[in-house]
Amino acid sequence: MALNGQTVVQAFAAEMAASQASSVDEFLEHRPDFAPVGKDAIAQAIIPHEDENKLRGGWYQYLFRALNATKERFHHNRLTIITFNYDRSLEQFLYTAIKYKYGISHEVTVDLLNTIPIFHLHGMLDPLPFFHPGGRPYSTTTSTQIIRRAATGIKIIHDDVQDSLQFRRSVQYLAEAEKICFLGFGYHRTNLERLQMKEWGFGQVYCSSYGLTNAERNQIQNRFPSSPKVTYNFDPKGLEALPFLREVGFLEMS
């Protein structure tokens, strides 16, 4: 298919560059006509980073340390993960860490991992095989077929996702949570509205602000509904993920 002598890929690349958008997601928000090729581009950019050797240290390791428990009591960890990211790195990290920490079988590992609800509100790049038979392994291998298949799982802000089961269940968890942490979040107005923050019941909300100026942080704070039962704690230092988690004490370390 061609547009004015250009292929769709060439037209997408040229128009996105001219739009000054900072990401493919941002561009597709206003240009859903490029959604198919844009989703392919997202998949093509992420898959080459699916290297399990890179999943060491950082805040993933810090999170897993906070989940320290015996195998029999692992399900008592009260953690729910809600993400707008497409990548599958956290699931792969947790699967490997759980399996080798306890020296358990694949089946028992999956059972323990399934005690942590993980919601990808904008989809993900194909299910992992330990969750779904026939899923794509965590691998840097790419091909046209692999990219196209992975891209079908991606949803963008323009897509009608708010009424999905993932969103409904996520909002329920958020409404009942005692502590909520926004980590590496962009605070897009539409995404905040979809989380139905006015329905949240009580507790502490911790908000990272890496890369934000004081003025930008104040503007974002004004998007949060006031509530006598909810306290919002914005990071004034703009820390990265791991220092932020350590500083605010969101996770209880054993």
> What average pLDDT does the segment 35-61 reach?
94
User: Are 110 and 229 found together in one domain?
Assistant: yes
> At residue 13, does pLDDT exceed 90?
yes
- On whether residue 163 sits in a domain, the answer given is yes
User: Are 46 and 128 found together in one domain?
Assistant: no
pLDDT digits (tens, 9 = 90+) for 61-84: 999 999 989 999 999 998 999 999
The pLDDT assigned to 200 comes to 85
How many domains does the chain fold into? 2
pLDDT digits (tens, 9 = 90+) for 27-43: 998 898 999 999 999 99
pLDDT digits (tens, 9 = 90+) for 180-220: 999 999 898 888 888 888 888 778 999 999 999 999 999 99
| Burial letters 11-30, b for 16+ CB under 10 A, else e | bbeebbeeeebeebbbbbee
Domain boundary among 158, 193, 226: 158
The pLDDT assigned to 254 comes to 66
- On whether residue 254 sits in a domain, the answer given is no
The pLDDT assigned to 1 comes to 44
User: Are 62 and 10 found together in one domain?
Assistant: no
Find the domain containing 101 and state its range.
53-136+159-248
> At residue 158, does pLDDT exceed 70?
no
The candidate with the shortest Cα–Cα distance to 202, out of 182, 224, 221, 176, is 176
The pLDDT assigned to 29 comes to 87
C-alpha dihedral, 209 to 213 to 216 to 218, nearest 10°: 80
3-state SS class at 46: helix
What is the rounded CA–CA span in Å between residue 151 and residue 200? 32
User: Are 68 and 176 found together in one domain?
Assistant: yes
Q: Helix 89-102 vs helix 58-66: angle between axes, to the nearest 10 degrees? A: 50
R_g of the chain computed on alpha carbons:
20
The pLDDT assigned to 166 comes to 81
What is the rounded CA–CA span in Å between residue 92 and residue 119? 14
Mean of pLDDT over the chain: 90
Structure tokens of 154? 């991606």
